[in-house]
Structure 1
Amino acid sequence: MSIAIPFIVLLVVGVIAAYHRLRLAVWVAISATALVAAWLLGASPVASIVAGVLLALASLPLLIPAIRLPLITAPLLKFYTKILPPLSETERVALEAGTVGWEGELFSGKPDWKVLHEQPKPTLREDEQAFLDGPVEELCRMVDDWDITHVRADLPPEMWDFIKKNKFFGMIVPKEYGGLGFTALGNHKVIQKLASVSSVVSSTVGVPNSLGPAELLMHYGTQEQKDHYLPRLADGREVPCFGLTGPWAGSDATSIPDFGIVCMGDWNGARVVGVKLTFDKRYITLAPVASLIGLAFRMYDPDGIIGDKKDIGITLALLPRDTPGVEVGRRAMPLNCTFQNGPIRGMDVFIPLSQLIGGEAYAGKGWQMLVECLSIGRSITLPSSASGGAKMGARVVGAYARIRKQFGLSIGRFEGVEEALARIGGHAYTISALAEASAAAVARGELPAVPSTISKYHCTEMGREVARDTMDILGGKGIILGPRNFAGRNWQAAPIMITVEGANIMTRSLMIFGQGAILCHPWVLKEMKSAMLPDERERLREFDRNLFGHIGFAISNAVRSFWFGLTAATVGRAPGDTYTRRYYRKLNRYSAALALCADTSMLLLGGKLKFKESLSGRLGDVLSNLYIASSLLKRYEDEGRPATDQPLLAWSIHNAVYKIENSLSSALRNFPVRPVGWLLWSLVFPLGRRAQYPSDRLCHKVASLLMSPNEARDRLGVGVFTTPCENNPGGRIDSYLSQVVLAEPVERKFLKALKNSDIEALDFRSQLDEGVAEGWITAEERKQLEALREVTIDAISVDDFDPEELRSAGYRREADSGRAAA
């Protein structure tokens, strides 16, 4: 046994050093000290000497730069430059455009939770809160979604006027240009509240405050462009849209065939240098009503009028609607949600170079401009819309499930419905935390390239799940459209959010991990940059530092993954309280597992990894759910660790962890190099998979929260429009919950007495009369039951119409013409 002790000592010290990420010199010093101590305590002298020699042979070449640089680093650098996948200009711009925040810690394998906890709690300014309580509340009261989506297929004129007058289109425009100057968080809260009552209104307001002329002008516009356009955009004199997508370039935006040729032309009576544009765009929100059109196109200068470069590249420009040759005004009909959307076309449309966003200096820089601004817009509009719809759904469907009874029991008490209610509540809690986290990142001044894609993809996907479960619970109430239906249009709108600002399939399989693996990794991008340095000595020195940092990082993650797998992440330092500490430990485990799997994938697959979309998608899901779970814990901490929220937090965390293990399992079982997949499995899941989907008991707790008045339910609904006015059927249903709960004991007493009686009355009012006469209920209780019947009828009723009301205007015109001809 004494012979094995020195080698066991080396192994144990090495594992501890790797787990804690000690420097190589520290590991060697501790190992040497431990060997001497083992010798003195009785270990075999010969074995100790052999172990010491092995330690020296392994460490000295690495510790001495004069040996390491020429004999180890230089050959590895030569090999690395050969296998380094070439980066296209498009990929390079995308990688350099964003900033790295908390997602970088998750990719580290050892997150520093202080970084997350020290982020300030998202808080609205006084003017932002006043705007929510004033103009936003008033605008929500004006919304008649049936009138908008079915009768007019548009907002009524008074609503357009209200939106412009109150500067809803200028929320992001700085105050010095006449806008509201809201933070990203303020923008998020406004869109969330509007989306809770109408997806059409939220889209109409959201687009001008997302990717579009205002955002681009603020970042890149010339001073003259800012001074002219920003005040007009802020007060609604200009309604903007932005044309990017066309028939031949959707998600592949860099391949747009729309082009502009530099030439001379006439503009406002003068002969100037400009661009003659030919373009065909579709799916452009607000295009039919826009007065100012932003346009992305590829710019060419074949005659060398402005320089030697013929293909200048993607460029952005501003076109007034009345520019000769612009064809705009026709409408598309997006799944009957009827927000303003349509095509923009033009052939040989001339504009001067002064209409390029940023002027001639920004010609050819359009892709960079778009990537930087896309991450901002993608972080806010769609996640906020999903949050508003999901939170409203959780509140209203929870109340409906308590009000609606079948077989003498509230439908929310049936376990099948409880499962759906739990998903609605858990997803609403998750979406709102994730949407607020991404908006807060922008408000802190970050350009969250990776979090924005995570937020857009997962908020809209979970939003679709909430809409589906809502429809399942509502049944006939959900599928019959009309003024009383609060859910049908959200169901129709769900695929729209999935599709726009980057189709979700492409976002998941190409963007989240494809961008995150390089941008968020602590060493990969540094290695790539150091390998391309022009100075040979500096290149070797920097590559050496980054390479061996990366090697130590990889070894540490392998050790940490295996240790956490063996212990099921039940030991180790972690922040949080006694309730949440276990969740932090789980995330530490999966952070290490993600870093290990990502490193291995990039090492073995190199440039081929970008074509392994299933693998990228699954590893992206791991990163996404780590970020989601972190957002949940941050929300819980920011709100003061409310005990009543614990079922919602637990459901959401368990759901995220379950998805993480599923994704890791699928990635490793389908790993392209099978033996490596088996090895990774043994490190990540040494005792097999342990995560479980949220239990039935937990689902029951979450469903009960949605169906009863309580603080957690109130917090979940903060920021959505629940005012019970005539045009807000969801708000009315939500307002009935307390009244229904108070009336339930009287209802049970009355129904029990009625069942055991021999009265002959069949209609409800006559039964109440006899109930009072027989003494089952008092006169006051009778009024309570009558009120309960009224609110129940309002909650469950659906609309019906005269057949002529449902015929299209075109059909009616044709029928009238036929009758006139007869």
Structure 2
Amino acid sequence: MLLLSLLAILVLVGVLVYRQVALIAASSIVIVAWLLLGVVAPALYSAWLVVPLVAILLVLNIGPIRRVVLSKPVFSILKKTMPPISATERDALEAGTTWWEKQLFSGKPDWNEFAQISLPQLTADEQSFLDNEVSELCSMLDEWDIHNNRKDLPPEAWQYLKEKKFFGLIIPKEYGGRDFSPYAQSRIMSKIASRSGTAAVTAMVPNSLGPGELLVKYGTEEQRQRWLPGLANGTEIPCFGLTGPEAGSDAGSIPDVGIVCKGEHEGQEVIGLKLTFNKRWITLAPVATVVGLAFKLHDPEGLLGDPNKKEYGITCALIPANHPGVDIGKRHNPGSPFMNGPIFGNDVFIPIDWIIGGAAMAGKGWRMLIECLGAGRGVSLPALSTASGEMNYRLVGAYARIRRQFNTEVGKFEGVQEATAEIAASGYTLEAMRQFVTKGLETGAPSVMTAMAKYHATEMMRQSVEHSMDIVGGRAIQNGPRNFLIASYISVPVAITVEGANILTRSLMIFGQGAMRCHPFLFEEMQAMEMSDAGAALKKFDRLFISHLGHVANNMLRTKLLGFLGGRFSSVPANADDFSRRWYQRINQLSAALASMSDIALAVLGGNLKRRELLSARLGDVHSQLFIACAILKFHSAHPRTRAEDAHAEYAVNRAIYLAQEALKDFANNFPVRWLARTIKFLAMPCGYVVRKPHDDLIRELGDLIMEENPVRQMLSHYLYISHDPLDAAGRVESTYQTLLSLGPVWHAFLKARNTGKLQGATLQEQAEDAAAKNIIQPQDVARVVDYDARRFDCLQTDAFDKL
């Protein structure tokens, strides 16, 4: 009876932990249950059981005792092992906001909150701009001509960008801008990118990391009035100097300096800065009229008002490009001919009020930059990637049907379908991510979410382009005005490099920031350890630590239960349907495992986890893929159910969950405390897997669908600029494909007859006429067959040039 009573107590404790009952209430319930069970099992009243129970309850519930016995030893150990947070790291961690990614990191996502999220919609003005101004701009652009002849946008395109306020999308209307939403900005950049990556980069930079966004958020009213109207109407062209020869991804280490001093400006002596800087890879620098600049600010004479403060840290200023001493060098060649170049300056004096936000914002530049990087990471670069993924879907799917080998459409070969299925799923996923992420940006600037978006969108673009090149083959590697893939291929290195290199983003940022920003207690605990008042620090830490212990216990229990049940019976959104229910439950299972493994890793490795990038990157992958899976499910639920939509969503979400699962396995397999890793891995995935790779049947289905005018292809095409010009690189494939579709079964019937030797004639014209005479096709179809064959042959050709 004693064993049964103890088992009942353990089950009760498990239920209380799982339900997250408050500590005092839970302790009271345990005491009452103990007393009641002691009636039937008197051994529960024995001292060897009661004394430990009382001791545990006293330690957990009595603050002064808990602090001495539990919290203080842990506090002391962590204070010695955890590295201090630098000012730069603190700014990065405190910058921005969090959104749904925090729920996933908690181990227990609030699906009621998720159900309330609706995907973004365009306003009438935004839709009109896309349909008219953006389409008009795209009609002016020829990427081959831009790349190989002009090395720049045509003058009429530059003028149109300025006149129609493409550079002022984020600027409020009171300053002459368009004040468009993040979703509208993404859609605009994506549509431009589907026509010209050069034009898209040119348009995106003023609307992402640049003076415009910094001025809107942090500038003084005088600075806004001075600069924003010109930035909005294109009379001012901005660039922003952040990266230098010795500071790329580690932007916090920039050597560029500004020394506070007195100097002469417009005939008067004023307090200002003497700047020395060397910047490179600065987009729009060669044509900029105003330069944003990041540098480290020093005030050796205390002229800013604080005689005890000499080092202010990273600061941002705004400088006219023609200001004396500012030297904009020759152009770089980043592979794509958007304007890009270096900026130099030595002892350039500027007044103090040229600091963005004025002297009050001195030293606050890094936080400003971290928050503003969200636009580039969450809007611009994913928009370029989405355009590439969706164009690959449309054009490679069409080409795979036009191109035939061994008397079969190449898209019918299963080896090709393995690649086209990935292209199809990536196009679908990228659009789902774009809409989910830009919805999150409406709430603020979630730094972890935008890092996820930047890394995974650009990596998906890389893989989609590589699959596309593999399928199209020699037709894709021969450069020329016919090549519809080469521009995307060339742009891949730019996408994975800028706004934080992908290796850095994955290995340091996603989990490094995610653990701090998304964990409910960790960052505050580290802040407590840095407090100067030891008594207050311990009290704050104690309060957080006891809650943290409850959080860990809850997630460990959830990991165990959800692992054995495969997530079944766990909560899902109220509007979940039969398609999504099990996927949400699998997300619950892996979310709990992520939370448990993260806490274990932090407890065991402490500050060393920051340096164990192989491990932390895998936890970041789990977090990211769960976020992507949620984006896919939200996107799927926003459309009418069709088999095509279900197939794309099933493959995409299956792939995301599978990648999360594999990252979790790899983390456990490489965790240094082997027995602990094996235990958690078994609890999280007792069957060895949560999902398997997408089935071959689904691969074949997507491989067929990408060649058809299916609902998903039509939907994704809605976000692009589609040319039907048979002399255009993309338009040639598109018009040929549409001609093939218009033939319906006629072309197949003709080919079948020709391949089986039923037709007479030396030319295709003669064979088509013979097919009509034999009632294989209709007489009116002869000209259509001949026309399509001419288009088909032309579509397969590559460019040839005179000898150099």
Shorter-chain TM range is over 0.9
CA distances 1:729-756 after superposition (whole Å, capped 9, x unpaired):
3245335445423425222322333344
SS for the counterpart of 2:125 is: helix
CA distances 1:263-311 after superposition (whole Å, capped 9, x unpaired):
3333334443322222111111111111111111122233444442333
Residues 48, 748 of structure 1: CA spacing in aligned structure 2 closer, same or farther, 3 A cutoff? farther
Q: In the TM superposition, what are the counterparts of 1:282-431 in structure 2 within 5 Å?
A: 282-307=280-305, 308=307, 309-335=309-335, 337-431=336-430
> Could you tell which deviates more after superposition, 364-373 or 780-789?
780-789
Aligned equivalent of 1:552? 550
Please give the alpha-carbon distance, in whole angstroms, between the structure 2 residues aligned to 1:520 and 1:703: 38
Matched-pair contact (CA < 8 Å) for 1:480–1:799: yes
Please give the alpha-carbon distance, in whole angstroms, between the structure 2 residues aligned to 1:607 and 1:757: 74
Aligned equivalent of 1:111? 109
Q: In the TM superposition, what are the counterparts of 1:239-250 in structure 2 within 5 Å?
A: 239-250=237-248
Residues 412, 548 of structure 1: CA spacing in aligned structure 2 closer, same or farther, 3 A cutoff? same
> Could you tell which deviates more after superposition, 272-281 or 92-101?
272-281
Matched-pair contact (CA < 8 Å) for 2:34–2:44: no
SS for the counterpart of 2:106 is: coil
CA shift for structure 1 position 718: 2.5
The answer to whether residue 796 in structure 2 is matched with residue 796 in structure 1 is yes
Please give the alpha-carbon distance, in whole angstroms, between the structure 2 residues aligned to 1:565 and 1:735: 51
CA shift for structure 1 position 61: 3.6
The match for 1:187 among 185, 188, 207 is 185
Counterpart amino acid of 1:344? Answer: I
Residues 177, 727 of structure 1: CA spacing in aligned structure 2 closer, same or farther, 3 A cutoff? farther
Aligned equivalent of 1:817? none
Aligned equivalent of 1:782? 782
> Could you tell which deviates more after superposition, 347-356 or 62-71?
62-71
Matched-pair contact (CA < 8 Å) for 1:7–1:51: no
Aligned equivalent of 1:156? 154
Counterpart amino acid of 2:486? Answer: G
Please give the alpha-carbon distance, in whole angstroms, between the structure 1 residues aligned to 2:36 and 2:731: 73
Counterpart amino acid of 2:721? Answer: F
Aligned equivalent of 1:619? 619
CA shift for structure 1 position 643: 4.8
The match for 1:459 among 457, 460, 471 is 457
CA shift for structure 1 position 239: 0.9
The answer to whether residue 578 in structure 2 is matched with residue 578 in structure 1 is yes
Please give the alpha-carbon distance, in whole angstroms, between the structure 1 residues aligned to 2:220 and 2:319: 16
> Could you tell which deviates more after superposition, 545-554 or 735-744?
735-744
Counterpart amino acid of 2:671? Answer: F
Counterpart amino acid of 2:657? Answer: V
SS for the counterpart of 2:109 is: coil
Counterpart amino acid of 2:725? Answer: C
Aligned equivalent of 2:43? 46
Q: Which runs of 5+ in 2 are unaligned?
A: none
> Could you tell which deviates more after superposition, 727-736 or 414-423?
727-736
Aligned equivalent of 1:811? none
CA shift for structure 1 position 406: 1.3
CA distances 1:8-28 after superposition (whole Å, capped 9, x unpaired):
212222233333323334444
Matched-pair contact (CA < 8 Å) for 2:101–2:449: yes
Matched-pair contact (CA < 8 Å) for 2:98–2:518: yes
Please give the alpha-carbon distance, in whole angstroms, between the structure 1 residues aligned to 2:468 and 2:16: 51
Matched-pair contact (CA < 8 Å) for 1:13–1:27: no
SS for the counterpart of 1:779 is: coil
Matched-pair contact (CA < 8 Å) for 1:289–1:329: no
SS for the counterpart of 1:98 is: coil
CA shift for structure 1 position 658: 1.4
Residues 647, 755 of structure 1: CA spacing in aligned structure 2 closer, same or farther, 3 A cutoff? closer
Matched-pair contact (CA < 8 Å) for 1:178–1:231: yes
Residues 347, 68 of structure 1: CA spacing in aligned structure 2 closer, same or farther, 3 A cutoff? closer
Matched-pair contact (CA < 8 Å) for 1:275–1:352: yes
Sequence identity, in percent?
Answer: 42
The match for 2:166 among 165, 168, 185 is 168
Please give the alpha-carbon distance, in whole angstroms, between the structure 2 residues aligned to 1:748 and 1:618: 49
Please give the alpha-carbon distance, in whole angstroms, between the structure 2 residues aligned to 1:441 and 1:690: 28
CA shift for structure 1 position 438: 1.9
Please give the alpha-carbon distance, in whole angstroms, between the structure 2 residues aligned to 1:264 and 1:332: 35
The answer to whether residue 78 in structure 2 is matched with residue 97 in structure 1 is no
CA shift for structure 1 position 608: 1.6
Please give the alpha-carbon distance, in whole angstroms, between the structure 2 residues aligned to 1:112 and 1:418: 38
Aligned equivalent of 1:708? 708
Aligned equivalent of 2:524? 526
Residues 775, 78 of structure 1: CA spacing in aligned structure 2 closer, same or farther, 3 A cutoff? closer
Aligned equivalent of 1:8? 7
Counterpart amino acid of 1:411? Answer: V
Please give the alpha-carbon distance, in whole angstroms, between the structure 1 residues aligned to 2:710 and 2:756: 35
CA shift for structure 1 position 492: 1.0
Q: In the TM superposition, what are the counterparts of 1:418-567 in structure 2 within 5 Å?
A: 418-444=417-443, 446-532=444-530, 539-567=537-565
Please give the alpha-carbon distance, in whole angstroms, between the structure 2 residues aligned to 1:200 and 1:755: 45
Residues 641, 772 of structure 1: CA spacing in aligned structure 2 closer, same or farther, 3 A cutoff? closer
Matched-pair contact (CA < 8 Å) for 1:708–1:737: no
Matched-pair contact (CA < 8 Å) for 1:9–1:31: no
CA shift for structure 1 position 218: 0.9
CA shift for structure 1 position 788: 2.3
SS for the counterpart of 2:780 is: helix
Please give the alpha-carbon distance, in whole angstroms, between the structure 2 residues aligned to 1:515 and 1:13: 36
Aligned equivalent of 1:810? none
Aligned equivalent of 1:660? 660
CA shift for structure 1 position 790: 3.5
Matched-pair contact (CA < 8 Å) for 1:523–1:546: yes
Counterpart amino acid of 2:587? Answer: L
Please give the alpha-carbon distance, in whole angstroms, between the structure 2 residues aligned to 1:51 and 1:712: 64
CA shift for structure 1 position 596: 0.7
Matched-pair contact (CA < 8 Å) for 2:172–2:178: yes
CA distances 1:410-453 after superposition (whole Å, capped 9, x unpaired):
11110011111110111111122112222222223x12110010
Please give the alpha-carbon distance, in whole angstroms, between the structure 1 residues aligned to 2:296 and 2:541: 37
Counterpart amino acid of 2:588? Answer: N
CA shift for structure 1 position 678: 2.8
> Could you tell which deviates more after superposition, 634-643 or 257-266?
634-643
> Could you tell which deviates more after superposition, 21-30 or 395-404?
21-30
Aligned equivalent of 1:130? 128
Aligned equivalent of 1:24? 23
CA distances 1:640-661 after superposition (whole Å, capped 9, x unpaired):
5555311111111111111112
Please give the alpha-carbon distance, in whole angstroms, between the structure 2 residues aligned to 1:313 and 1:535: 25
Q: Which runs of 5+ in 1 are unaligned?
A: 808-822
Residues 755, 296 of structure 1: CA spacing in aligned structure 2 closer, same or farther, 3 A cutoff? closer
Q: In the TM superposition, what are the counterparts of 1:256-267 in structure 2 within 5 Å?
A: 256-267=254-265
CA shift for structure 1 position 160: 0.5
Give the root-mean-square deviation of aligned CA atoms: 2.3
Aligned length: 799
Please give the alpha-carbon distance, in whole angstroms, between the structure 2 residues aligned to 1:52 and 1:17: 20
> Could you tell which deviates more after superposition, 178-187 or 75-84?
75-84
Counterpart amino acid of 2:43? Answer: V
Residues 556, 344 of structure 1: CA spacing in aligned structure 2 closer, same or farther, 3 A cutoff? same
CA shift for structure 1 position 393: 1.1
Matched-pair contact (CA < 8 Å) for 1:709–1:738: no
Matched-pair contact (CA < 8 Å) for 1:376–1:448: no
CA distances 1:523-574 after superposition (whole Å, capped 9, x unpaired):
1123233445566665444333321111011111111112222222234332
CA shift for structure 1 position 68: 3.2
Matched-pair contact (CA < 8 Å) for 1:207–1:285: yes
Residues 299, 535 of structure 1: CA spacing in aligned structure 2 closer, same or farther, 3 A cutoff? closer
Residues 348, 47 of structure 1: CA spacing in aligned structure 2 closer, same or farther, 3 A cutoff? closer
The answer to whether residue 607 in structure 2 is matched with residue 610 in structure 1 is no
Residues 298, 572 of structure 1: CA spacing in aligned structure 2 closer, same or farther, 3 A cutoff? closer
CA shift for structure 1 position 168: 0.4
> Could you tell which deviates more after superposition, 451-460 or 353-362?
353-362
